[in-house]
Amino acid sequence: MDPGVSEPDSDPQNQEPELDPVLVWAPSGRRLVSGLLGLNLVLLGAALVAGQAFHPEGLKHQEPEVFLLVLMGLSLVWMLWYLLWARKQPGVCPHQDHHAGGVTVIVVLVLFAACSLLLYVCRVGYLMSVRECKPAATLISPFIESPFLALQTYLLWAHSKDCIHKHKIVTRSGLMVILSADLLLWLNAVTEDSIHEEIELEKQDSLAFSRNSSLCQCSGSAACLAFRKGFEILYPFNIEFYLMAGCMIYVIWKNVGRRMSPDPHHAAKKFSLQVLCKGGIIFGPVFGGLVLVAGITVFILYQVWVSQRELRQTAFLIFYGYHLAIMPVMSLCSLAGVLVHRLERRAHEGGHNPTRSLDVMLLVAAALGQLALSYFSLVAALAVGTQGPLGDLDLSYSLLSLLELILQNIFIIEGLHRHPHLLAKKKDKRSIFKGNTLAPPAAQEHDGKKTWTKRATQEICAFLILSNIMLWVIPAFGVHPQFENGLGKQFFGFSAWFVLVNLGQPLGVFYRMHSVAALMELLISA
C-alpha cells in the first residue's frame, strides 16, 4: 500500500485502498482535508459565538447568526446532493456498520427532533411578536434551521450505517460541515441559555429591577406568553439533539471508506431484543419506576417551592435528599454489575470499531463536566467549610456524584467491550494476550435458559436506565440549585462559578442521556 494514503489509526482489515482519482491540490491523507476544514470552521464559529456572548456590542452585523446560516445552507445542499444523486450511484455503500445507528439511538434522536420542531413553531410565534426589535438574521434562522434539522434527522435515520466508498473527499467535507454546524448550534444554544440564566439570577440577587428595561419583551397577549413558555420547556431537547446528531455524523465520517466483514451476531441481537420485550425482568423496572415517580414528585415540588421564600430551603433539602438516596443505590448496582462481568468471563470483542470507540470517548468526556464540578465543590468545602446543613448536603452530593459516575462508567465500558455471545477461555491465557477472541463452539451458550449472570445484568441495566432518565430530566428542565446555593458560589464568586456550572451542566445532562443509550445496548446484548 502506498504510504501516502496509509492510515495509521485504522484497521487494515477493515479498510480498502483509496480509488478516487489523484488530485494534485489535495493532501494525500484520507481525513486531512475534511479534518482541517472542520477544525477551522469550529474555531471560527466558536470565536464568533463567544464574541457575541461576551461582547455583543462589538458584532454589529449579526456575524454569528449569518455564519451559522451559511453553514446550515451548505449542509442542506450537501444532504440533498447525497440523498437525491450520490446515494443512488452503484457501489456507493457496499458495506454497512451494524454497530452504528442502533434502534434506541434512532428512537431518542427522532423524539428530540420532534420536540425541536415544536420548539421552532414556538420560536417563530415568539419572534413574530417581538419582530420590531429583532435583527433579520434572527428572524430568518428558524426557517433555515428547521429544514436543516428535519433533513439531517432523515439522513441519520435512513443512512447512519452507511460506509460510503465513492466521492470520499466531497463526502467527508460535507459531513464535516454538518458536524461543525451541529457543534456550533449547540454552543450557541448553551451560551444563549447561559445569558438568560445570568439575567434571571442577577435580578434575584439584586434589588435594582428597574434599570435597563428591555424593549424586546413579550407583550401582554396570551399567545406570546404561551409561545415563550413552550420555547423554555422544549429548549433542552434542542440542545441534546445537536450533541447526539453530531456524534452520529462523526461515526458516518469515520466510516467513509471502511470495509466491514459480515456480522454474524446482528440477527442474534435482534432476537435478544424480541426476547426482552416478552418480559422476564421484574425488579429492575419496578424499583426504577419508583425512582421515576419519586423524582417527578421532587421535580414538581422543587419548581413550586424554590420561588417561595419561606419554602426555598425545603426545596433545596428535598433536591439533595433525593439524590443522596438514589446515588448510593446506583453505585452499588454498578459495582455489582462489574462483579457479574468478572464472574461471567465473557470474551472481549476484537478489531477496530469507530462506534464503540466513540461511545467510550463520549462517556468519559461527558462525565468530566460533573466530575469537575464535584472537585471544585470539594476544594471550596476545604477552603470555607460546609457552614450549615445545606453545605453538608452539597459536599455529600459532590462526593457521591464522583463515586457513582466512576463506578457506572466502569460498568458500562466493560460491558460495551464484551463479546455478545462468546465466553472467554479460562486456561488458555496466550489467546487473550494475542487478541484471539474466537472461542471454540463448545464455549458458546447452547441452552435457551437465562443464566443468573444474564438475569442480574438485565435487572441492573433496567434500574440504571430509569434512574439515569430521571437524573437527566431534573437538570435538563431547569433545576440548578448549584446556581443559587452551593459552596462553589461562596468560594469562587458568582461570575466564575456561573461559568463553571454552565460548562459542566450541559455535559452532565448529555452524559445521562448517552448512558441511557449505552445501558440499553447492554440490556439487549446481555
d(CA 251, CA 109): 15
Bridge partners (DSSP) of residue 258 are 15
Question: Residue 90 — very low, low, confident or very high, per pLDDT cuts 50/70/90?
Answer: confident
Residue 381 contacts residue 487 (beta carbons within 8 Å) = yes
> 96 phi and psi, to 5 degrees?
-135, 145
Q: Confirm whether 439 is domain-assigned.
A: no
Question: Residue 415 — very low, low, confident or very high, per pLDDT cuts 50/70/90?
Answer: confident
> H or E stretch including 162?
strand 162-163
Q: Are residues 278 and 144 both part of a single domain? A: no
Q: Are residues 306 and 193 both part of a single domain? A: no
Q: Confirm whether 432 is domain-assigned.
A: no
d(CA 446, CA 423): 12
Q: Are residues 223 and 357 both part of a single domain? A: no
Q: Confirm whether 65 is domain-assigned.
A: yes
SS3 471: helix
Q: Are residues 403 and 286 both part of a single domain? A: yes
Write the DSSP symbol of residue 92. S
Give the residue-averaged pLDDT of 207-211: 45
Grid cell listed for 81 = 446532493
Q: Are residues 147 and 282 both part of a single domain? A: no
> What is the phi-psi region of residue 120: left when phi exceeds 0, alpha when psi lies from -120 to 50, beta otherwise?
alpha
Q: Are residues 391 and 360 both part of a single domain? A: yes
Which single residue is written with the C-alpha cell 460506509?
Answer: 163
Query: What pLDDT does residue 98 have?
Result: 66
Residue of 524, 516, 510 whose CA lies nearest to 418: 524
d(CA 154, CA 498): 37
* Count of the separate structural domains present in the chain: 2
Residue 363: which domain range?
A: 266-423+450-525
Query: What pLDDT does residue 440 have?
Result: 44
Sign of CA dihedral 166, 169, 174, 179: positive
- Of 37-46, 256-265, 466-475, where does mean pLDDT reach its minimum? 256-265
Q: Confirm whether 97 is domain-assigned.
A: yes
Question: Residue 61 — very low, low, confident or very high, per pLDDT cuts 50/70/90?
Answer: confident
Name residues whose C-beta falls within 8 Å of residue 388's C-beta, 6 or more positions apart in sequence.
none
d(CA 465, CA 493): 36
% of the chain at pLDDT higher than 90 = 27
Grid cell listed for 49 = 459565538
Residue 474 CB burial class (10 angstroms; 0-12, 13-18, ≥19): buried
Q: Are residues 246 and 273 both part of a single domain? A: no
Name residues whose C-beta falls within 8 Å of residue 278's C-beta, 6 or more positions apart in sequence.
none
Q: Confirm whether 304 is domain-assigned.
A: yes
Q: Confirm whether 370 is domain-assigned.
A: yes
Grid cell listed for 330 = 446506583
Q: For 20-30, how does the pLDDT look when each residue is reduced to its tens digit (9 = 90+)?
A: 544 444 454 56
Give the residue-averaged pLDDT of 184-194: 79
Give counts: helices (H), strands (E), the chain. Answer: 16, 4
Q: Are residues 277 and 191 both part of a single domain? A: no
d(CA 246, CA 356): 16
Residue 480 contacts residue 197 (beta carbons within 8 Å) = yes
Amino acid, res. 61: H
Query: What pLDDT does residue 524 have?
Result: 82
Question: Residue 324 — very low, low, confident or very high, per pLDDT cuts 50/70/90?
Answer: very high
Entry field: residues in the chain: 526
Q: Are residues 192 and 289 both part of a single domain? A: no
The secondary structure of 179-195 as a DSSP string is HHHHHHHHHHHHHHHHH
Q: Are residues 184 and 272 both part of a single domain? A: no
Q: Are residues 156 and 74 both part of a single domain? A: yes
| pTM exceeds 0.75, yes or no | no
Q: Confirm whether 436 is domain-assigned.
A: no
- Of 103-112, 309-318, 462-471, 481-490, where does mean pLDDT reach its minimum? 481-490
Question: Residue 51 — very low, low, confident or very high, per pLDDT cuts 50/70/90?
Answer: confident
Grid cell listed for 133 = 426589535
Q: Confirm whether 441 is domain-assigned.
A: no
Q: Are residues 234 and 310 both part of a single domain? A: no
d(CA 316, CA 299): 11
d(CA 62, CA 483): 29
